[in-house]
Homo-oligomer: A and B are copies of this chain.
Amino acid sequence: MSGNRQVSRQPRGDATRQAILDAAERIFADLGYAAARLEDVAQLVGIRRPSIVYYFAAKQQLYDQVEADIFAAMHQFVLERMAGAGDPLERLLALLDAWLDFLVQRPTAARIIQRLVADLGPRGDNPVRFSETALRDIEAVVAEGVSTGQFRPVSAMHILNGIAAGALFYVCNAGQMGQTRAYDPADPDELERFRAMMHVLARAAVGQEAR
């Protein structure tokens, strides 16, 4: 059979596939890979477990796709937000803001990344790593700022570990407090307070604190 198939593809299967990915992101974020059951995902979607296998051959593949989608979306989000900024400091702050906003609006992604960082080194078959991607994004900006003399010589790794980590924590830690201290990371006031502090820290890190 000579192939002439996908002219106007809009099978309802695509919607199901996306629903499975959404549900899986939620379940993997809540429970972690090992504790997450395909049964949970199926229930959230409203289908039976083997139907998931129809779209994703194995649990690991489903997870890998969830992770890949998160990285892609995050990287894309960062690029869009940085498009307007020219000044290195401005670009650095835009980058950090992008991370913060992305994680706040998609806390499941934050928790998946949080778990990822706890794991041991990269799995062989999954070359896409959060920290690598994130580091590359940051390195470009930092290198520019340092080369123009606008930043003090500072390692991108330190910015990542010292500041970007805060954005993750801000989101993940919200649910960790008791009722008295719990906060909503998406609350505009709360978010802007944290953002302001993150900017202060970033300026301090690159040596632009009060100049």
Q: Chain A: residues with CB nearer than 8 A to chain B?
A: 29-35, 111-112, 114-122, 129-132, 135, 154-155, 157-158, 160-166, 168-170, 172-173, 175-178, 181-183, 193-194, 197-198, 200-201, 203-205, 209-210
Determine if A161 and B173 form an interchain contact, defined as CB atoms under 8 angstroms apart: yes
Q: List 22 A-B contacts (CB under 8 A).
A: A114-B115, A117-B172, A120-B175, A121-B182, A122-B176, A131-B173, A131-B177, A132-B177, A135-B177, A135-B181, A155-B193, A157-B183, A158-B193, A158-B197, A161-B169, A162-B163, A162-B170, A165-B166, A165-B168, A165-B169, A200-B205, A209-B210
Determine if A204 and B194 form an interchain contact, defined as CB atoms under 8 angstroms apart: no
Determine if A129 and B165 form an interchain contact, defined as CB atoms under 8 angstroms apart: no
Kindly provide the distance from the CB of A172 to the nearest chain B CB, expressed in whole angstroms.
5
A170 to B115, CA, bound (A): 15
Determine if B122 and A111 form an interchain contact, defined as CB atoms under 8 angstroms apart: no
A130 to B154, CA, bound (A): 31
Contact of A31 among B34, B135, B175 (CB under 8 A): B34
Question: Which residues of B have CB within 8 Å of A170?
Answer: 161-162
Contact of A166 among B34, B117, B163, B175 (CB under 8 A): B163
Given contacts A115-B115, A117-B114, A176-B129, contact A32 B34 (CB under 8 A): yes
A166 to B162, CA, bound (A): 4
A29 to B181, CA, bound (A): 27
Determine if B161 and A131 form an interchain contact, defined as CB atoms under 8 angstroms apart: no
Kindly provide the distance from the CB of A174 to the nearest chain B CB, expressed in whole angstroms.
9
Question: Which residues of B have CB within 8 Å of A176?
Answer: 116-117, 121-122, 129-132
